[in-house]
Amino acid sequence: MGRQYDRKPYLYTEIDGNTARQLEEQEFYVPDDRRAEEVRRSRRNREKALQMSPAYVMFLTMACVAVLAVCVNYLKVQASIRTRITNIEEMEANLEELRDINEATQSRIAVASDIHQIYKTATEELGMVYPDDSQVIYYDRTESEYVQQYEDIPRE
């Protein structure tokens, strides 16, 4: 296709060196048959663009539904992840609190049941002593796993 012309006048400059010397106004006209052909062609293209086949409309509809389903699924997964993260954070805070309570309880038990402190209190304040070998009796009990308080201890 050749150059396209329209009916507007254009100003052309003649350049001589690095300055513009003269301004000339020239008009170019497009022949009517070329112009009419271009108008018809553009009108046909517009009409084709506006027409959509039912299959294409169905394809676009299905594509939109698929994209919408993916977006909804994504939002559900994201909400589920946020809920789980919040739940994990709450559980971690609860675990930390339980660890603190456990450490405090262990330190209280350790202070209360210090072996050296018990030995010192028993020997110095209460006057207790370790038993001699003749005072210790060892026996095996096979009938049950515990000893009743008032039962006779065998001599063997």
Mean pLDDT of the 100-104 span: 93
Q: How high is the pLDDT of residue 51?
A: 77
Q: What percent of the chain has pLDDT over 90?
A: 31
DSSP characters for 22-69?
A: EEEEEE----HHHHHHHHHHHHHHHHHHH---HHHHHHHHHHHHHHHH
Widest distance between CA atoms in the chain: 139
3-state secondary structure of 20: strand
Paired tokens of 133: 């070998």
Contact indicator for 13, 23 with CB cutoff of 8 Å: yes
Mean pLDDT of the 70-75 span: 97
**Residue entry with tokens 């001599």:** 155
Does pLDDT of 32 surpass 80? no
Predicted TM-score (pTM) of the model is 0.40
Q: Show the CA angle centred on residue 94, arms to residues 89 and 96, nearest 5°.
A: 95
Does pLDDT of 11 surpass 60? no
Length of the chain: 156
Nearest to 13 by CA among 24, 2, 28: 24
Q: How far apart are CA 63 and CA 50, in angstroms?
A: 20
Nearest to 24 by CA among 40, 8, 9: 9
Contact indicator for 30, 4 with CB cutoff of 8 Å: yes
